[in-house]
């Protein structure tokens, strides 16, 4: 390789690294934007007198919008990224002036922007890092979890103000900066080499019947994650009405657990344990931690169980996403999986109103985790009978992605 060619490669790698750093930061901001509604829910519910089923419908609309955004993400990743951030700039500005009637449709468009931005970013990373996809997606989702972890603490000072407009304008400004980055730099950026794209694409498309069980597992994993993140602030606040900071702290512990687990499994620890074993372990731990949340009324135990739930749930979606992207890089995967984030928080609110307690509402995420226990071995059998590689046993080129069998 000549010195000029070597220099060009180094520049290209440097640009890609810096681009990934900015996109990862933006991904962290979308994590903060996703959990914003859950943190603000006690304030919003009190201001407009929303019952739990109406509050749950807010979550449904936001996450339905997110699923639609994933579905609308096209093959032009950068254009979808710009569109997503554009929706977020407009919708966060609208939130600053929304009344009770506009609140519901505006949160749908918040979700739409989040869905497009997150899906486009994930697919960009999948294209760029084909062989190292699982570890890179764990790191990307670590950035998302870091944003979600910091959000409750950073939002808390805004809750002391007379209105939430400064918070919404802050989000608007940050999303505007990311839109400008995508427009000015990513749109003019160095294209991904064809050799990398060829390696990133699945070698052979799996049948729909083989992929569907994995998509359902991903939908359930997202449902557990979104239900807990959406309702933990309210749940902890009702257990300790005099300590609003403690309620926010429970949500922060949940996201801290998610962040730490995703950070841990973006290293060689994932290869040492193995994807199958890790998936099996974390599903059972998720069931146990949510069961503890349902059983207890003690604020201290709620906070501990929140942290343990975060540690358990954290690796689930990135793991399942890496299996799915081995077979398809289409946006419909994110859309179908994202339906779990729309349905389960809403179902939690409906059960809470029906039975008169949010303890019963948390049966929804607990039931989703139990369904994952049932479906995990079924996924293996369906893939085997379909004549495809077993999704949870997929061989990958990089030895860092899969532990010993």
- Contact status, residue 82 vs residue 179, Cβ threshold 8 Å: yes
Whether 151 and 38 have beta carbons less than 8 Å apart is answered as: no
Does the pLDDT value for residue 336 go beyond 60? yes
Does the structure show a pLDDT above 60 at 204?
no
With pLDDT > 70 as the criterion, what percentage of the chain qualifies?
A: 78
What confidence category does residue 163 fall into, taking pLDDT thresholds of 50, 70 and 90? confident
Q: How far apart are the first and last CA of the chain?
A: 39
Phi-psi region at 96: left, alpha or beta (left = phi > 0; alpha = psi -120 to 50): alpha
Is residue 264 within 8 A of residue 321, CB to CB? The reply is no
> Which pLDDT score is estimated for 330?
59
Average pLDDT over residues 96-117: 94
* CA 84 to each of CA 128, 132, 259, 340: distance values in angstroms, whole numbers, following the listed order: 20, 26, 24, 20
* Res 187: pLDDT: 75
Question: Do residues 82 and 183 touch, judged by C-beta distance below 8 A?
Answer: yes
Phi, psi of 76 (to 5 degrees): -85, 95
Please give the mean pLDDT across all residues of the chain. 80
Cβ distance 273 to 400 under 8 Å?
no
Separation between Cα atoms, residue 20 and residue 14, nearest integer Å: 10
Note whether 137 and 126 are within 8 A (CB).
Answer: yes
pLDDT band at residue 403 using 50, 70 and 90 as cut-offs? very low
Q: Residues 346, 227: contact at Cβ < 8 Å?
A: no
Where residue 401 falls among pLDDT bands split at 50, 70, 90?
Answer: very low
pLDDT at 320: 84
**CB contact at 8 A, 293 and 302:** yes
Task: Read off the pTM.
Answer: 0.74
pLDDT digits (tens, 9 = 90+) for 279-312: 889 999 999 999 999 998 888 899 999 999 999 9
Does the pLDDT value for residue 150 go beyond 70?
A: yes
Ordered by where they begin, the domains of the chain are: 16-401 (1.20.1250.20)
d(CA 258, CA 225): 9
CA-to-CA distance for 1 and 35, rounded, in angstroms? 48
pLDDT confidence of residue 277: 86
Q: What is the mean pLDDT of residues 38-52?
A: 88
Res 130 pLDDT > 80: no
- 133-144 confidence digits (pLDDT tens): 666 776 787 788
Percentage of the chain lying above the pLDDT 90 cut: 36
Contact 166, 157 (CB under 8 A): no
pLDDT band for position 347 (50/70/90)? very high
Q: Is the pLDDT of residue 353 over 70?
A: yes
């Amino acid at each position: 390789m000549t010195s000029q060619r070597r220099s060009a490669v180094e520049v290209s790698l440097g640009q890609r690294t810096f681009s990934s750093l900015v996109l990862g930061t933006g991904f962290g901001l979308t994590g903060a934007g996703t959990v914003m509604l859950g943190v603000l829910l006690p304030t919003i519910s009190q201001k407009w007198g929303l019952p739990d089923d109406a509050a749950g419908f807010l979550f449904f609309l936001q996450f339905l919008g997110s699923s639609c955004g994933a579905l609308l993400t096209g093959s032009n990743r950068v254009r979808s990224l710009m569109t997503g951030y554009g929706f977020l700039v407009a919708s966060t500005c609208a939130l600053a002036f929304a009344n009770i009637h506009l609140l519901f449709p505006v949160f749908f468009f918040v979700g739409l922007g989040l869905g497009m931005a997150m899906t486009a970013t994930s697919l960009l990373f999948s294209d760029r890092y084909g062989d190292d996809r699982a570890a890179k997606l764990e790191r990307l989702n670590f950035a998302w979890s870091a944003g979600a972890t910091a959000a409750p603490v950073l939002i808390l000072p805004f809750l002391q103000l007379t209105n939430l407009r400064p918070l919404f304008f802050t989000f608007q400004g940050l999303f505007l900066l990311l839109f400008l980055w995508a427009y000015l730099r990513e749109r003019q950026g160095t294209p991904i080499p064809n050799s990398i794209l060829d390696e990133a694409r699945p070698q052979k498309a799996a049948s729909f019947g083989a992929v569907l069980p994995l998509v359902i597992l991903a939908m359930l994993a997202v449902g557990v994650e979104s239900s807990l993140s959406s309702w933990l602030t309210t749940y902890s606040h009702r257990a300790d009405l005099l300590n609003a900071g403690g309620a926010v702290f429970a949500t922060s512990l949940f996201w801290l657990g998610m962040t730490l687990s995703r950070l841990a499994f973006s290293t060689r620890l994932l290869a040492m344990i193995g994807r199958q074993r890790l998936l099996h372990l974390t599903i059972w731990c998720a069931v146990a931690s949510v069961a503890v949340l349902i059983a207890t009324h003690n604020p201290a135990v709620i906070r501990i169980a929140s942290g343990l739930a975060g540690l358990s749930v954290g690796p689930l979606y990135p793991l399942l996403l890496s299996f799915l992207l081995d077979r398809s890089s289409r946006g419909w995967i994110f859309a179908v999986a994202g339906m779990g984030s729309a349905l389960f928080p809403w179902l939690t609110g409906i059960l809470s109103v029906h039975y008169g307690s949010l303890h019963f509402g948390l049966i929804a995420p607990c039931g989703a985790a139990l369904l994952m226990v049932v479906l995990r071995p079924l996924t293996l059998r369906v893939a085997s009978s379909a004549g495809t590689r077993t999704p949870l046993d997929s061989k990958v080129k990089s030895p860092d992605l899969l532990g010993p069998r």
